[in-house]
Structure 1
Amino acid sequence: MSQVERGLRILHTSDWHLGKCIGPHRRWDEQEQFIDEIAWLAEDEGIHLVLVAGDVFDTENPPARAEELYFEALSRLAVNGRRVVVIAGNHDQPERLAAAAPLASRQGVHILGRPGDVPPAGPGVLERGPAHMVLQGPGWPCPAVLLALPYPSEARLGELLSDSPEEADRQAAYAERVAAAFRLLSGAIRPEAVNLAVSHLYVRGGHTSDSERHLSLGGAYGVDAGAFPPGLQYTALGHLHRPQGVPGAAMPCRYSGSPLAYSFSEAGQAKGVVVVEAVPGREAGWRVIPLNSGRPLVCWRAAGGYDEVLRWCEAGRDRRAWIDLEVCAPAPLTREQVETLRGLRPGIIDIRVALPEQEAAAAAESPDYTALPLDELFTLFYRHQTGGEPGEELVQLFLELASPGAEEVDRDETC
């Protein structure tokens, strides 16, 4: 079998969300674990090229430790001639993500923050232009053409795509703008290379989860699978956390999904990366490799009330898991009961009480929240999140923090 027939091997991952919390808990250990696992897989699978399809960080101003993990991951992946390409997602601040691009490119790491960015020159960059490059590495069976479209909001595109007040018109203008960007990039496609695209956006028909920030905020919407040009062997997408293919795409086109479950709507989902093998002129083969890192997310519903939850905790049920708890009870749990549960199982994140039918029906009636004073709004929120009642001191502290003269909270340390 010739080198070209053996195929270029690509690892596709996305949505790391470094620095993301679950409840009040940072997940550093779990994120270190999946970086270890991805680095090991890249070596074990003989990967030539790693594609990171956006949302490296969870916030535009990530904690220093998240940035340390990011740089450590890049240094471990870009070894032995392996190249790494990273694009910004909607959670990433484009300039911050790509600040090290001129230095990183010398190590075989290519970072693009905004649509239309020209990647810096570096080893193995045979050609480069706005949002595309041709890469070659030592021992590669063939070059790779990469069309890259980092998260394309109106703001990052630098364009007002439509001044129509109609939502349908704005969505149509956005979809056409993204399709036009890919049509323009398609001129870089080479028949003698493996041709790839990487982007961070929502393709209509994809299955979402609660932990994804909706791309419709700020003027960005969904696109159709037909936006991707013919001639590609594989399209690597980021944004949706559930691993899935894109219905109707003309080539293998996939969301790798997040490496960890980041909301309880993702409980039970298998997480992984996609390993692709491609040769010029043929449809790529791909397979999902499961990741075993991190703690599972589990939903408990205690029909037997508070005492049943106590028994589960004492028995060590789902000992390693993060837990979303719903307790069937005649009244909200007391503060002491909530503290007891959290003391027994620090992994319990949310506690809700399911009241009897008549109370649940009354609770389901939507009050006019705009007419409620701030302390009552906070009390309702606290009940919903914890199932208990806030103490007077906590309510007073909230009111002090929420007052106009309160000092601004350091966003770097909030979840």
Structure 2
Amino acid sequence: MSRTLHTSDWHVGHTLYGHPREEDFDAVLAEIADVAREYRPDLIIHSGDLFHSSRLTAADLLRAMGALHELADVAPTVVVAGNHDSPGYLKFLNLVSGPSRGKGLFFVDRLRPAREGGVLSFDACGGEQRIRLAAMPFVHPNRFWRSSSTSGMTPADYAEGMRGLQAELVEALREGYDPSRDVLLFTSHVYVTGATRSASERAVHEAFEFPAEDLPDVSYVALGHIHRPQIVPGIEFPARYAGSPLPMDFGEATDSKSVVIVDADPGRQAKALPRPLSSGRRLAYFPGTLDELRAQASQYDGTFLKADITGEEPGTLLTREVAEIVPNAILVGPVRAREETADAVLDEAPGDEPDLPDAFRAYLTREGMSNAAAEPTVSAFTQLLNEIDDETPSPTPAEEQLRIALSDTWTETS
């Protein structure tokens, strides 16, 4: 039986409201390496968003590569690009890694044809089995922009384009398939219909989604992009989001973080089970009075703490008082007293914040802009959010019309 370890969405370099998280990353990445050494997989898959930003620091690069080198010493390790990753950096990392690094460390920076790294093969179980992996990094919706369109690209265009790209990879994956030996896997960094976002993740993921039923029926589908670990619902074969190993915001504070251990035999569906992770400081939310906080102070040692204090004059800054009560916590943001009302923030999930487009729409409304006038601005803002991590933003309709006009200019005849 072959074994695969699936991890994803490390987001190395992420800070929490400006607070560095180096020790949290060091702890959880060391824990993932320990899990790999314990379970001894034949293959390790990282399904994207290795880094939090496409602009890396030397410390982020060293931290991520140090962890990946530990994994590659255990088993061949494949990293596909997520929407936060720089394809250029990952291409460079692949050039300096490859099969010579430990048992193999491979970076799939962009969607590649099968024979150029889109489909990879690895011996498993001492050569008795072979794992074949089709790798589909994040594909930006701009790829499916149609130059003939003046209304932009629709979610249906995106889904159709993704189906075509995936079909090419899966056809190559199945080429020469030996049902007595081969275990077929597929990995992609994509938002799949029905996946549950954490409260801190932007709803713009859902603007371009891929139907779950269109995922390939293979032994296991290893997905990245969504931070909450979960099974993809509504399909008969195992497909999972491994999720992020650390909570990225308070909207993920209650998520159970994990990696996935996948056991499979040729011609059979895999058995995929999460293996919980426990490293990294906890994100904690406290609603209540200062006296209640004093009574519970030990619970918040070593946490990132967001506190809402009641029973004080609304608007009063209480950061110093709270810091004295919980000196070993890292306070996230200034602590202010708030009014205790029936519809106060306590009735919301801790850390819930409006999606950025909704917050921007509310801001425009407060500034006196009508709903009719605000919507085009909010639409443009949402498009920018979709493109913020892409190196080649799509043309606007006006730009496309100008390009067409300039390519067919009128000339005066004599």
Scaled by the length of structure 2, the TM-score of the pair is 0.75
What is aligned with 1:115?
Answer: 111
1:132–1:352 CA distance, 2 compared to 1 (3 A): farther
What is aligned with 2:401?
Answer: none
Distance of 1:29 and 1:248 partners within structure 2: 38
Distance of 1:252 and 1:146 partners within structure 2: 15
User: After alignment, is 109-118 or 16-25 more displaced?
Assistant: 109-118
Distance of 1:42 and 1:139 partners within structure 2: 17
What is aligned with 2:92?
Answer: 99
What is aligned with 2:227?
Answer: 241
Amino acid corresponding to residue 272 of structure 1 in structure 2: S
1:271–1:321 CA distance, 2 compared to 1 (3 A): same
CA shift at 1:371, angstroms? 6.6
Q: 2:257 aligns with which of 253, 265, 271?
A: 271
Amino acid corresponding to residue 268 of structure 1 in structure 2: T
Aligned length: 342
**1:354 match: secondary structure:** coil
| Structure 2: tracts of 5 or more residues without a match | 346-361, 370-414
Q: 2:187 aligns with which of 198, 205, 211?
A: 198
CA shift at 1:88, angstroms? 0.9
CA shift at 1:360, angstroms? 7.2
CA shift at 1:212, angstroms? 3.2
**1:275 match: secondary structure:** strand
Distance of 1:133 and 1:317 partners within structure 2: 47
Distance of 1:131 and 1:249 partners within structure 2: 24
CA shift at 1:291, angstroms? 0.8
Q: 1:319 aligns with which of 301, 319, 333?
A: 301
Scaled by the length of structure 1, the TM-score of the pair is 0.75
CA shift at 1:202, angstroms? 0.5
What is aligned with 2:120?
Answer: 133
What is aligned with 2:83?
Answer: 90
8 Å Cα contact 1:90-1:215 kept in structure 2: no
8 Å Cα contact 1:201-1:215 kept in structure 2: no
Q: 1:153 aligns with which of 136, 140, 145?
A: 140
CA shift at 1:276, angstroms? 0.2
The yes-or-no answer on 1:339 pairing with 2:323 is: no
Distance of 1:249 and 1:333 partners within structure 2: 52
Distance of 1:312 and 1:101 partners within structure 2: 53
The Cα offsets for residues 157-199 of structure 1, whole Å up to 9 and x where unpaired, read as 4x415866778x7111111111221111111222341100111
Q: 1:209 aligns with which of 198, 223, 230?
A: 198
What is aligned with 1:78?
Answer: 72
1:251–1:100 CA distance, 2 compared to 1 (3 A): same
**1:332 match: secondary structure:** coil
8 Å Cα contact 1:117-1:130 kept in structure 2: yes
Amino acid corresponding to residue 39 of structure 2 in structure 1: E
Distance of 1:102 and 1:296 partners within structure 2: 37
Distance of 1:277 and 1:25 partners within structure 2: 38
8 Å Cα contact 1:295-1:321 kept in structure 2: yes
Amino acid corresponding to residue 89 of structure 1 in structure 2: G
1:366–1:312 CA distance, 2 compared to 1 (3 A): farther
Distance of 2:120 and 2:202 partners within structure 1: 29
1:89–1:215 CA distance, 2 compared to 1 (3 A): farther
1:74–1:367 CA distance, 2 compared to 1 (3 A): closer
The yes-or-no answer on 1:180 pairing with 2:161 is: no
1:291–1:352 CA distance, 2 compared to 1 (3 A): same
Distance of 2:14 and 2:260 partners within structure 1: 22
Distance of 1:258 and 1:68 partners within structure 2: 19
CA shift at 1:353, angstroms? 3.8
Amino acid corresponding to residue 239 of structure 1 in structure 2: H
1:322–1:227 CA distance, 2 compared to 1 (3 A): same
CA shift at 1:52, angstroms? 0.3
Amino acid corresponding to residue 246 of structure 1 in structure 2: V
Of all paired residues, the percent bearing the same amino acid is: 31
What is aligned with 2:285?
Answer: 299
What is aligned with 2:238?
Answer: 252
Distance of 2:249 and 2:332 partners within structure 1: 11
The Cα offsets for residues 101-138 of structure 1, whole Å up to 9 and x where unpaired, read as 123113211101112266xxxxxxxxx33522222268
1:117–1:111 CA distance, 2 compared to 1 (3 A): farther
**1:134 match: secondary structure:** strand
CA shift at 1:320, angstroms? 2.1
Distance of 2:343 and 2:183 partners within structure 1: 61
The Cα offsets for residues 63-90 of structure 1, whole Å up to 9 and x where unpaired, read as 211110111112111125x100001111
Distance of 1:358 and 1:253 partners within structure 2: 41
What is aligned with 1:398?
Answer: none
8 Å Cα contact 2:264-2:270 kept in structure 1: yes
Distance of 2:137 and 2:337 partners within structure 1: 42
1:327–1:48 CA distance, 2 compared to 1 (3 A): same
CA shift at 1:295, angstroms? 1.2
**2:92 match: secondary structure:** coil
| Structure 1: tracts of 5 or more residues without a match | 1-6, 119-127, 373-415
CA shift at 1:51, angstroms? 0.3
CA shift at 1:249, angstroms? 2.3
CA RMSD between the two structures: 2.9
